Amino acid sequence: MRITILLTCLLALALAFAANATGETTVTDGTEMVTAECGKCHGLDRTCAILGNKTPEEWTALITRMGEKKGGFSAEQIALISGYLAEAEPGDPAICE
């Protein structure tokens, strides 16, 4: 009996971990977020054209504005995307090629 309870607990823990891990990949990967979210309505060329030209605050403002066109990005998505783009070099191969 005890063993069954213990195994059930372990299984629940493993499932919680797996769910958390998959959730995180989509949320923490800036490159993936940009290619998935910022190429939906227009090409990434618009974004690539201005890499290196904006302060982190300007990126945050731009991404907030883009999000508003489709019902809003979450604060986490905005932080992640603007953080990535503010660091990216002009012509960043991960999103511009």
CB of 94 to ligand HEC, least distance (A): 14
Report if residue 2 touches ligand HEC, rule: CB under 6 A.
no
Letters for 8-27 (x = contact with ligand HEC by CB under 6 A, - = none) are: --------------------
Kindly report the CA angle at 27 between 22 and 29, in degrees rounded to 5?
A: 95
Report if residue 7 touches ligand HEC, rule: CB under 6 A.
no
Q: Quick one: tokens of 69?
A: 């066109």
Measured CA to CA, the distance from residue 8 to residue 3 in angstroms comes to 9
CB of 67 to ligand HEC, least distance (A): 7
CA atoms within 13 A on the CB side of 76: 6
